[in-house]
Structures are given as C-alpha cells and as structure tokens.
Amino acid sequence: MLERYKLIFAYDGTNYFGSQRQANTPTVQKTLEKALTSIGWQGRTIFLAGRTDSGVHASGQVAAFDMRWEHTAQDLVKALNANLPDDMVVIRAEKTDKDFHPRFDALSRTYQYEVYFEPFRDPFIDRFAARIWPPIAWEGLNFRAGQVIGTHNFAAFGTPPRAEQSTIRKLTTSVWSKESDRWIYIVQASGFLYHMVRKLVYLQVAIAQGKIPEDTLVNLLLNPTQKILPGLAPARGLKLVNVEYPEGSGINNKRE
C-alpha cells in the first residue's frame, strides 16, 4: 500500500549546491532521492519543508514522500542511512497523513547563525560558523536583533519564492545567545524570504562594526522599497534547526 512518510534529517551543506534539485550538480534533494530509489522508492519527487542555499546546513529539515514500505519506520531510517553519504543522516521517520506537506503545513521555521571571534580562521570551526574580527559589542548586537521582531515588510532583506508573493513576514524570535566561544543568532518566523536571514546577520554585524549607520535596520523596515546595502553573511554559518507544525500533525522536529 502506498503511504506518505515524513522524515526529519540533517546535513552538512558544504558540498551541496542547495537543497532543491538541479541538473548536473549535487543537491540535498537529489542525494536523498537517490538513497530512496536504492531501497525501492519509485516516486518522482520528494517535498521539503524549506529551501536552503548552497553551503547552508540543517539539523531539522523535513521531507515527505509516498512509498510502499513493508517494514517499520525505524527500518526505513536504518535503510536510508546505509545508503546516504557521511554528510547526511535521517534522524526519524513516521507515517503521516496522505495530505501532509512539509512546506505548506508548517507554522514556523527556526534558523540559527553562528559566528566566532578570532584574528585568523579556525579550520575546526570555520565549516559551520563565520569568523568576525575584531570582536563586537554584545549589547548593541542584541538590541538590533530585537528591532526586527514583529510583522514587517522585509522586501529590502530578500525576495519571495515567486515574484507575485508577499514580502511581509512575522518574526517571533530574533535574539543572540552566547555559547562558549561562539555567538548564535536564533530567528524564528512564519516564513522567510530568499537570503533574508543572511542579510539580517550581515546588517546587524556591519552596524556593530561601525561600517553602516545605526538606524539602517529601522529605515529598511520603514522604507522596504529602498535598495539594500550590498552584503551577505557567509552561507556556512547558517543552519535550519526546526520546523514547527500544528499539534498532532506528526513527530517533534527538534533533534534530541
């Protein structure tokens, strides 16, 4: 019997040209579909909860697909992981409603961005965090993060998946936290524009470094049609960590 399955999976995005399938380049979607095909999947495409750019990581990405599988969900996890490369892993799987769509049914998505402060790059950290030097003030950075919370037109910070779609988004969380030698920016919203998180990080850091005026963030929210200053935080610091769904729609997507 053909049934719909939901997967929570993680990947190091360094060697992938984003999550969406592309011709002649390795992507997250193509890699997972190849592993599924190797265990008997005959579908045409899988559905993902969110798009990640080239080099962006995930610890809580969600996929859905239809498949005939005569074994347990845990067996599906084991079979897929046996056929996936070392930089990708399925964490959990379950049968779900036949109409479940990981993108359209999502209530919110949470990303985190990691930075560290060193005069020279650290090869043991640099794969998953962006280096900043000299150090910047913590208090000012967190203050600016709070300025973007709420419902705003974020047209100056990115583009929607399709040109005709709205650029209004509601941010419920925007905060920096300290963890050992790293600072982590955590941002949650109902949805994000293309490049939105990386532009938010770039602007907050650039203001803290004194490279652009203090009121830049607020001005871009009040005047969303103005051209944004050039700049984009490196992809390697960004990670999709969680996708939230209505209660009862399936397993918790946070990695335990």
| Average of per-residue pLDDT across 159-169 | 88
DSSP label at residue 234: -
Q: Active-site residue 215, yes or no?
A: no
The pair of structure tokens assigned to 83 is 């056929």
| Average of per-residue pLDDT across 9-33 | 95
Q: How far apart are CA 61 and CA 52, in angstroms?
A: 9
Average pLDDT, the chain: 93
pLDDT band at 137, cuts 50/70/90? confident
Residue 66, amino acid: D
215: pLDDT strictly greater than 90? yes
pLDDT band at 163, cuts 50/70/90? confident
How high is the pLDDT of residue 256?
43
Task: Please say whether the beta carbons of 8 and 73 come within 8 A.
Answer: no
Complete domains list, the chain, with CATH: 3-105 (3.30.70.580), 108-241 (3.30.70.660)
Chain segment 43-89, per-residue pLDDT in tens: 999 999 999 999 999 999 999 999 999 999 999 999 999 999 999 99
Q: Which of 125, 151, 134, 127 is nearest to 224 (CA)?
A: 151
How many alpha carbons fall within 13 Å on the CB side of residue 191? 20
pLDDT band at 254, cuts 50/70/90? low
How high is the pLDDT of residue 250?
53
Element (H, E) at 71: none
**Catalytic one of 53, 66, 99, 122:** 53
How high is the pLDDT of residue 140?
85
The pair of structure tokens assigned to 28 is 């997250």
Strands (E), the chain: 3-11, 47-48, 57-67, 88-95, 108-117, 130-132, 150-153, 168-179, 182-189, 238-244
Q: Between the CA of residue 4 and those of 21, 68, 196, 236, what are the distances in Å?
A: 20, 9, 31, 32
Q: How far apart are CA 72 and CA 252, in angstroms?
A: 18
Q: Which of 11, 186, 200 is nearest to 112 (CA)?
A: 186
Task: Please say whether the beta carbons of 204 and 141 come within 8 A.
Answer: yes
pLDDT band at 191, cuts 50/70/90? very high
The pair of structure tokens assigned to 185 is 């920016």
| Average of per-residue pLDDT across 179-195 | 92
From first CA to last CA, the distance across the chain in angstroms is 31
pLDDT band at 238, cuts 50/70/90? very high
The pair of structure tokens assigned to 189 is 């919203």
How high is the pLDDT of residue 249?
59
pLDDT band at 213, cuts 50/70/90? very high
What is the pTM for the complete model shown?
0.93
Q: How far apart are CA 114 and CA 225, in angstroms?
A: 29
